[in-house]
Structure formats: structure tokens, C-alpha cells
Structure 1
Amino acid sequence: MWSLTRLRQHPHFAPLFGRVHPLCWLILWWQLNGLIRWFETHQPDDVLYSVSPWGLVTIRYVAPRTDPRLYKPRPRTFRVLTDPGWGSDLPACLESAPAHALILPRVRGRWPEGPEGALGPIPNTS
């Protein structure tokens, strides 16, 4: 059995002593030792428990221990970067045109420095 001092200093159980009245610490000590013994005997994956202001421990949920043979994930496979599945679905005519020619509307006829009907690159005025 764990001593009262050891339970009060344990990081998992120390906050519980703050929620229980000091007159009921012996009840909490007895209940926590029972919980620890039960946990070591059954070895569940996880336990959800609550503690009343009088020091009574109530187990709310027990996660059953999972069998490691039940679930085996498939190994991940990665496609090489040369795989055609990584390619683009855009038509070839869209890939060859500059992006600003496709997005910006016509302002006036033909610009000498850019493609017809689209704005050219913005000049640097700084």
C-alpha cells in the first residue's frame, strides 16, 4: 500500500487531495490504494474515475485492453514523383499562356510589351 504522504506528492493524485476535506483524507487514501491495486491486477488501457468531496472513488469507464493481433494497419505505399497521377489536369493550351493573360481583362487593343489584349507586367516605380 502506498503511504498517505506518497499519494499526496504523486502528480496524478495530488490534485484530488485539494478537492477532498482533510477529515476525509483517510477515506481517499483507502480508496486510491484500492484503485491502484485494481489497476495493477486488471491492467486496462485507460480508466475514467471521479472522486467525491468525501473521498469516495467511483470508476465511470474502463477502456478494455486491446488485442494487438486484431488491428494491423496496411503498410503505406508512396507513388514516385514521376508517376503521371501527380500531373496536372489543365489542358495544354492553358499551361502555355502566361497567367496574367488569362486573368486580367482587356484594357485596350495591343500593348507593345505584352501579349495582345492583356496588361503587361507592372513597371517598377520605386
Structure 2
Amino acid sequence: MKKITVSAIILLLAGICLSGQDITGTWNGVLVIPGGQLRVDFHITTMDDGYTSTMDSPDQGAFGIPVTSTEFEDRELTITVTNLGIVYKGTLKEDHTVEGTFTQMGQSFDLTLTKAKPDASE
């Protein structure tokens, strides 16, 4: 009985830890660049072999930009858009934000992502 209780507690804690690291969903951020700001959105979904995502740049009228690779391991998120020279590297924080750096064509900018709340109609 004691082994079952300990096993149940371990499974419960593992589930809590894993749910706290859910990276799927829509993540929004604002790039502060010379001359203004640009909103950036990443839409991350799970696949059998990992993650896939698309990117939006609403202020530039660009939506559904294909992402080359999306990797998430040990709280580290890396999103690459090869044809645009974009790499985002960030860390999932305890406050459920991702703090990182958005690099495009050699220029780097801080970018903190916040997970969007699901639409009430979903």
C-alpha cells in the first residue's frame, strides 16, 4: 500500500511539472526596434515527433509564415525561420512567459512572449 501511495504521488508531481511546461498555443510579444514596435505571434502545436509552428507579424500584414523548426526542451524554446534569417531563443519562466532574443539578419532584440488566453468560442 505504501508503494502505491508513493508511486501515485510521484506520478501526480510529474504531471504537474509537465503541465507547467506546456508550450503549445499562441504566444504574443512586441519587438522594440529602431523607429517603433512590431507585434510578433507564434502559433505552436504538437506533432508526433515534436512541435510545429507558424509566425505572424500583424503590423506588417504578414500571417501564417511557415517556421522551419520549433524545438522545446528543458524549458528552452528555439524557433527558426530560415528563409527570413530569423532565430528566436527563449526560456520558459516560472511566470509562464518566455524571455528571449529575436535575431534577424544579425540584429538582435529582446522579446518576451506571453501566452494568449484561449478564445471563449473554442
With normalisation by structure 2, the TM-score equals 0.23
Q: Which of the two has greater helix per residue?
A: 1
Larger radius of gyration: 1
